[in-house]
Structure 1
Amino acid sequence: MTDSAITAVVAEALALDEAAPALLGTRCGDCGTLYYPQVVSCRNPECDGKHVAPARIAGRGTLYSFTIQRYRPPALFALEPWHPYALGLVDVEDGLRVIGIVDTPTGDIRIGMPLRLSTLVLNDEAEDAVVTHSFVADHGAGA
C-alpha cells in the first residue's frame, strides 16, 4: 500500500478511531428507533418527535442471507487480487439488518454463522485507498 492516508468510503458511517471499528448511525431520542446509515430526523410514522442523536451500532451479529458477487466492482472498490466475494445481510445485536462484505472464504459461509464487524481496505495500491466495513467469522462467539 502507498503512504497515503486511508479514509472510510463514507466517513460518517464508520468509526476508525478506536481499537475496534464501529458503525455510526443515529437513534431517535423520542421513540428509540435506530437507523443505519445516519438520518437527519426520525422516520418512524408512529413517532411524534423527530430528534435523532449519533449512535454506535453493535459490532456482532448473525448472517441472515448472502450472495456471491462474481464481477469486478468499480475502481473505487477494487479488491486486489480480485476474487469472487460475498455480500451479506447481517442481523446485528442492536436489531438492525446491515449489508456488508463477508470477508470469509466463500465456501465457508453459512446462514446463521456468527459474525463480527471488521474493516477491509479497498483499492490499496492507489493514492486514494479507502476502507469499508466488512464482517468476518466470529470464532469467539458463544465461548
Structure 2
Amino acid sequence: MTSQVPLAEGLFTWPAEDPALIGGLASDGSFVFPYRQYKLVGGVREELERVELPRRGTLWTFTTQRFRPPAPPYAGADDINSFEPFAVGYVELPGALRVEARLTESDPAKLRIGQEMELRIVPFGTDSAGNETVLYAFAPVSEEAPHGTE
C-alpha cells in the first residue's frame, strides 16, 4: 500500500483533517509563504513566527497552463500525451497575503476574479519510493468536495 506524501516538506500541515498552508509572520505584521526562518524587517534580520495561513480566500487573478511544463523541475505523473491543462491563480488570504497555487477547476468559464476559494490537498504524481505525492490547490467554495483530500 502506498502512502500520500507532500511534494515538498513544510508547505502545508500534513497529514491533517483540515490542512493549512504554513507561512511566516514578522513583527511588523507582514507574512511570507512558503515559511522561512528569517526575513529582513526594517533592515534587521528577524526570526519569523511559524503560522498556519487562512484556508479560505478570494481569487485575485488566474490563467490556464495549456502545455506541459519542462521536467525537471515539473514532476507531474503525466507525460506530453496525457497532460491536461490546469489553472493557476493567486488567491488572496484575508489578513495575510496572496499565494500562487493550482486551482482545482481548469475551465476559465467557471472561474471569476473575486470568487471565494478554499484550500485542498490534491494528488500530483509518484515519488521514487512509489508514494503518491500531493500538493496544495484552491477550489471554488461552490465545488462539492470534502475537506482535506479529493
For these two proteins, the number of residue pairs brought into alignment is: 136
TM-score, length-scaled by structure 2: 0.79
Distance 1:24 1:116, change over 3 A: same
- SS of residue matched to 1:123: strand
Distance 1:31 1:96, change over 3 A: same
2:33 counterpart of 1:31: no
Answer with 126-135 or 92-101: which moved more.
Answer: 126-135
Give, in whole Å, the separation in 2 of the partners of 1:49 and 1:70: 40
Aligned to 2:37: 40
Task: Report the alpha carbon displacement of residue 18 of structure 1 after superposing the two structures with TM.
Answer: 2.1
Using the aligned pairs only, state the percent identity: 22
**RMSD over aligned Cα atoms:** 2.4
2:85–2:106 CA contact under 8 A, matched in 1: no
1:33–1:42 CA contact under 8 A, matched in 2: no
Cα distance per residue 1:87-113 (max 9 Å; x no partner)? 001101233010001101413111111
2:53–2:96 CA contact under 8 A, matched in 1: no
The residue correspondences of 1:40-119 to structure 2 (distance < 5 A) are: 40-44=37-41, 46=42, 48=44, 50-73=46-69, 74=71, 76-78=75-77, 82-106=83-107, 107-119=109-121
2:127–2:133 CA contact under 8 A, matched in 1: no
Task: Report the alpha carbon displacement of residue 4 of structure 1 after superposing the two structures with TM.
Answer: 1.8
Unaligned runs of 5+ in 1: none
Task: Report the alpha carbon displacement of residue 34 of structure 1 after superposing the two structures with TM.
Answer: 1.4
Give, in whole Å, the separation in 2 of the partners of 1:77 and 1:94: 32
TM-score, length-scaled by structure 1: 0.82
Displaced runs of 4+ in structure 1, greater than 6 A?
none
Indicate the structure with greater helix content: 1
